[in-house]
């Protein structure tokens, strides 16, 4: 299905309209779960100006996210939520639906995902009479994700009966060895478990339980978690373990340079 989505434009039909026809006709794999992928891409950013339009391998980050969503076989529709007309144009060109511009108050540095996603779900219900069963969060800042990550996350949610799925990878740093710094310059253990207090900070890593970092590669959640519980991630969460090299989160120019290197290596192996 991913290949069909990618090449639908050859017949003069945009990929987004092709996906909408598949959904409305009921021809998405049955019994179909209506899976909406949302690419949240506001225009502002602090670490890198116009971050979501920065290029990786010659394509904007928002385009990478849309391409991955369209190629995922379990995704029914792909929508970009943005406040920025230029990002909207780029996302449409990539094949995403961009039926609205996000209100400015939902595109601030302090804006949280929940309000953004609720706004999109409310818009689709009131203007399109359509509701998804599952919602996938695909941040443009994780451009090394693959369609397989998305499909596996959806499958994991369905297999486990979880409320939500978060992608994680093994943490490079362990909280056992982390400290809090006080105003007077002293430091104290971040963890105050009995094990930490008894053994101190310098325990061999092999003796510590594995800890995982949420990497932003993909989140999946049920519609009712967002609309009824008022949160993005429900209480029952399954973890999709992703390799660290697929887990780059673009926040600084260094992150972008590292992503470029890893992407080039991936393409060389393909």
- As a whole number of angstroms, the distance between CA 50 and CA 37 comes to 22
Q: What is the mean pLDDT of residues 90-116?
A: 93
Mean confidence (pLDDT) of the chain: 89
Question: Per-residue pLDDT tens for 145-159?
Answer: 999 999 999 999 999
- pLDDT on residue 31: 56
Question: Are 204 and 233 in contact, with CB atoms under 8 Å apart?
Answer: no
Residue 81 has pLDDT above 90, yes or no: yes
- pTM, rounded to two decimals: 0.84
Q: What is the mean pLDDT of residues 11-38?
A: 54
- Poorest-confidence range of 26-35, 115-124, 229-238? 26-35
For residue 107, count other CB atoms closer than 10 A to its CB.
19
Alpha-carbon distance values, 119 to 38, 122, 208 (Å): 11, 5, 42
Query: Half-sphere exposure of 102 toward its Cβ, with a 13 Å CA cutoff?
Result: 32
- pLDDT on residue 107: 87
Question: Are 166 and 239 in contact, with CB atoms under 8 Å apart?
Answer: yes
Tokens for 58?
Answer: 């010659």
């Amino acid at each position: 299905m991913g290949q069909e989505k990618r090449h639908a434009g050859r017949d003069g039909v945009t990929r987004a309209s092709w996906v909408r026809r598949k959904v409305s006709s009921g021809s998405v794999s049955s019994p179909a779960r209506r899976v909406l992928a949302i690419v949240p891409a506001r225009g502002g950013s602090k670490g890198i100006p116009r971050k979501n339009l920065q290029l990786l391998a010659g394509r904007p980050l928002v385009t990478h996210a849309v391409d991955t969503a369209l190629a995922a076989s379990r995704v029914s529709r792909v929508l970009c939520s943005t406040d920025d007309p230029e990002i909207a144009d780029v996302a449409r060109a990539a094949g995403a639906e961009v039926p609205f511009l996000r209100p400015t108050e939902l595109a601030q540095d302090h804006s949280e995902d929940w309000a953004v996603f609720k706004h999109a779900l409310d818009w689709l219900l009131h203007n399109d009479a359509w509701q998804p069963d599952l919602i996938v969060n695909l941040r443009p800042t994780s451009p090394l994700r693959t369609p397989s990550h998305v499909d596996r996350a959806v499958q994991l949610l369905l297999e486990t009966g979880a409320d939500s799925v978060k992608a994680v990878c093994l943490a490079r740093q362990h909280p056992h060895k982390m400290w809090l710094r006080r105003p007077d310059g002293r430091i104290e253990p971040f963890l105050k478990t009995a094990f930490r207090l008894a053994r101190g900070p310098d325990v061999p890593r092999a003796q510590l339980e594995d800890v995982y970092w949420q990497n932003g590669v993909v989140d999946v959640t049920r519609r009712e978690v967002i609309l009824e519980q008022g949160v993005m991630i429900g209480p029952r969460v399954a973890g999709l373990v992703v390799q660290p090299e697929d887990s780059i989160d673009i926040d600084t120019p260094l992150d972008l340079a590292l992503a470029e290197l890893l992407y080039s290596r991936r393409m060389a192996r393909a």
